[in-house]
Amino acid sequence: MPLPLFFVDLEPAPNNSDVFNIHRIFYTEVRVEEPHKRSDIVQCTRCQQFRHTKSYCNRPPRCVRCAGEHDSSTCSKSRETPATCALCGNNHPANYRGCQVYKALQKATTNLKKNANTQEKRSDEPPLARVSAVVAGASCPATAPGVAAGPSKPHQLPRSTSALGVQRPHPEPQLINSH
């Protein structure tokens, strides 16, 4: 059974945070919450490096199991032999989340987010920011004036800069609709 979930993306405005005070839309109870943010770092399945996907990769391929310079699907290494990480050279596959390279990137990303939150809190006036929310209703909610919901084209999200200074797009918002 389809869930009555709607993704709402508001353009920057001073009263955007008011959307979190909405509890009913046309006699339907709703709950407004921020979208859940992914905490894992994207990894390319072509070169095994982080912060991009194979669709945007121009590097030579590296095998996830043996670290060889070939595509993982053509690897002839047997499953019984230990894997070799293409990132650090240890005995684990390159997509192992316990890899020291992954942990270092995860820690750097966490520190950047903490620093950004600290600087944001120090600011006297909060900047006008885009607010995104997931609206869940008990039944199919109607759209309130000024709130875009339902099947609409998602806006282009701003680009952000990674710790390495490389611009990367935010993940595409997911639009979930019950109709």
Residue 113: HSE in the Cβ half-sphere, 13 Å Cα cutoff: 9
* Mean pLDDT on 85-111: 93
For the cut 90, the answer to whether the pLDDT of residue 68 exceeds it is yes
pLDDT digit string, tens, across residues 6-56: 888 888 889 988 999 999 988 888 888 888 776 778 999 999 999 999 999
Structure token pair of residue 159: 């680009």
Structure token pair of residue 130: 């885009």
Cα 99 off chain centre by? 21
Residue 91 region by backbone torsions, left for phi larger than 0, else alpha for psi between -120 and 50, else beta: beta
The pTM assigned to this predicted structure is: 0.48
- β-bridge partners, 43: 50
Kindly tell me the burial class for residue 38, based on how many C-beta atoms sit within 10 Å of its own C-beta (0-12, 13-18, 19 or more). Answer: exposed
Cα torsion 157, 162, 165, 167: sign: negative
How confident is the prediction for the chain on average, in pLDDT?
76
E-strand spans in 26-117?
Answer: 28-33
Return the pLDDT at 150.
43
For the cut 50, the answer to whether the pLDDT of residue 148 exceeds it is no
